[in-house]
Amino acid sequence: MNREAGTRGRVAVIIPALNEARSIARVLGDVPPPYRERMIVVDNGSADGTPEAAERAGAIVLREPRRGYGAACLRGLAHLRPDPPDVVCFLDGDYSDHPEEMARVAGPVLEGRADLAIGSRVLGKREPGALTPQARFGNRLATLLIRALYGVRFTDLGPFRAVSWVALERLGMADRDYGWTVEMQVKAARLGLTSIEVPVSYRKRIGKSKVSGTIRGTLGAGRKILWVIFRESGSR
């Protein structure tokens, strides 16, 4: 099956965004045509015109006033629930991911070869400096712990990912901030879902990172990621 064929209406794209007015139109503009029908930008309290820029670029714009990456993702899923797609793709709104590679990420899930596909920045091509040293260290530590505790090998907790709607309903996603991506991966491992990684490209983001760009964000994300990993290991 051609990954670009037959995707109309089957895939929804959720993009959490906080003050991404400089980048959001570029992100949306690079989403390939087969995946453009349900592009959802969840604005997380921007003060720079992000919602207006996203609307002009063709997205459905939702508002989630409670700050947090996971809170924005959950708002997007709640919007989709009355008429769910087969597959949901998540990516960031800062133009660090390459939306044109969406078929590479969504394809294995659309074809039924995986429940969850993670776009691995570690396995793919990275622009120098795109992944900060603290992000690389955090990824390495988290993925080693996941392998030790769950027996599943990942290389990255990257935001660019695709997951089937059926799997999402089983996962029962709940985290509202830094633990969103790792929660999805460890719950998938705990439930025995099929997860794969595909290499994706990664570049320096437009603007400053809300996580790795600050000491507070880095420490907060690190604590939350480790807490989620150990919390879920006790639920088996």
Domains (ranges, CATH) in the chain?
11-233 (3.90.550.10)
pLDDT at 208 over 80: no
Q: Is the pLDDT of residue 172 over 50?
A: yes
Kindly state the DSSP code that residue 8 receives in the 8-state scheme. Answer: T
Q: Angle at the Cα of 115 (from 110 to 120), degrees rounded to 5?
A: 90
What SS3 state is found at 11? strand
Residue 221 confidence (pLDDT): 80
Q: Could you tell me which of 73, 85, 223 has the C-alpha nearest to residue 166?
A: 85
For residue 6, what are the contacts with CB-CB under 8 A and spacing of at least 6?
110
Q: What is the pLDDT of residue 214?
A: 56
Strand, coil or helix: 63: strand
With b for 16 or more beta-carbon neighbours within 10 A and e for fewer, the 24-35 pattern comes to bbbbbeebeebb
pTM of the model: 0.92
According to the model, what pLDDT value does residue 3 have?
Answer: 44
The pLDDT value recorded for residue 179 is 95
